Amino acid sequence: MVREITYLEAVREAMTQEMERDPKVFLIGEDVGLYGGAFQVSYGMLEKFGPERIVDTPITELGIAGAATGAALVGMRPIAEIMFMDFTTLASEQLVNQAAKLRFMFGGRATDPMVLRTPAGSGTGAAEHHSQSFENWFVHVPGLKVVMPTTPYDVKGLLIESIRDDNPVVFIEHKLLYKSKGPVPEEMYTIPLGKADVKRAGRDLTIVATGVMVQRSLAAADQLAQEGIDIEIVDPRTLRPLDTETIIASVKKTGKVLIVHEAVKTGGFGGELAAVIAESEAFGYLEAPILRLAGKEVPIPYNRNLEYHAVPQVENIIEKARELAQLKV
């Protein structure tokens, strides 16, 4: 029987196993050492690896990203933790203007194998400055890979693969997933970047969801199954590179697609997915318009009731999927 551990434990195990395997891997960030990280992800790692490999920094996201970029250029494999995704705005100069471009600038002779890990999303009452979802900002940047796992199994395999990748990777962990549990092998394994996963097979319509919305879509699908609506759920897992083949195949199979993500709709990843589908052979199979369900066009409120209504919940997915199931072109 495969043991079950939490998403958080799977992240820690992936980092620990890679650090044991490869002395070039180290973790750098604010409070990652003695405190164990803002969400206790790196708890106990300082005692195991020491302060030279579990590096606490001042409050300087720009410095963390810059140190990781430089270390990667000289042969190290840093894992840089940005405490909240909101603060990747401060790290973006080094990440976007330097790390993402170095391999291109040096004609492939230089690599920059760094991973920038960051918790994203709402649901913890952390308000406007600690609850945002900026994944599509980084999807837009050539040279960056963007990973967004949703299960403990996926997060371990994808993190190990990301650490071994020779390109800079933005690795996004949703806060609400940290306590979720699932089967995870103890041994090391990898999951290729750019390979989606069909989390639920169905025939009536496809939901393509990211982050915590995968779990909410699964819960919605279970309820809609009682109404005779059979939903297929595709989790891209990596947003760049994107597995377009799996998504297109699912849409061709069902003829209808609902895209669900937490970030606001304007400029969100759902627009990219909709364009990919519309420009593909799947377009001729569509029996209804492509629909998107996303966060409201507001900053995330501190008030817990308002926060709840600012992003899609299970009941919103049920309502939208039910609407789509009845639509015809």
CA pseudo-torsion sign 261, 264, 265, 269:
negative
Asked if 164 and 188 touch (Cβ cutoff 8 Å), the reply is: no
Q: Are residues 203 and 81 in the same domain?
A: no
Question: Residue 20: CA atoms inside 13 Å, Cβ hemisphere, count?
Answer: 10
Q: Number of structural domains, the chain?
A: 2
Residue after which a domain boundary falls, among 156, 183, 210 = 183
Q: How far apart are CA 61 and CA 45, in angstroms?
A: 21
Q: What is the pLDDT of residues 224-256, one digit of tens each?
A: 999 999 999 999 999 999 999 999 999 999 999
54 occurs within a structural domain:
yes
Q: Are residues 179 and 265 in the same domain?
A: no
Q: How far apart are CA 95 and CA 97, in angstroms?
A: 6
**Does residue 241 have a cis bond before it (omega within 30 degrees)?**
yes
Tokens of 197: 């996963």
Which residue segment(s) compose the domain that 317 sits in?
197-326
Domain containing residue 153: CATH number:
3.40.50.970
Look up 61 and say whether it is catalytic.
yes
Q: Are residues 45 and 77 in the same domain?
A: yes
Domain containing residue 303: CATH number:
3.40.50.920
**pLDDT given at position 90:** 97
Among candidate residues 145, 192, 165, the one with its CA nearest the CA of residue 25: 165
Q: Are residues 177 and 225 in the same domain?
A: no
List the catalytic residue out of 9, 61, 173, 307: 61
Q: At what angle do helices 314-326 and 212-225 cross, to 10 degrees?
A: 60
**pLDDT given at position 187:** 97
Residue after which a domain boundary falls, among 183, 213, 231 = 183
Where are the alpha helices (H) located in 244-301, listed in sequence order? 244-254, 269-278
Q: Are residues 172 and 282 in the same domain?
A: no
Residue after which a domain boundary falls, among 134, 161, 183 = 183
Q: The pTM is what?
A: 0.96
**pLDDT given at position 329:** 61
Residues of the chain with pLDDT under 70: 329
Q: Are residues 256 and 312 in the same domain?
A: yes
**pLDDT given at position 327:** 78
| φ, ψ dihedrals at 50, nearest 5° | 85, 165
Asked if 164 and 197 touch (Cβ cutoff 8 Å), the reply is: no
Q: How far apart are CA 8 and CA 93, in angstroms?
A: 28
Asked if 33 and 56 touch (Cβ cutoff 8 Å), the reply is: yes
Q: How far apart are CA 167 and CA 131, in angstroms?
A: 27
Tokens of 213: 């919305």
List the catalytic residue out of 18, 130, 173, 307: 130
Among candidate residues 35, 73, 70, 72, the one with its CA nearest the CA of residue 54: 35
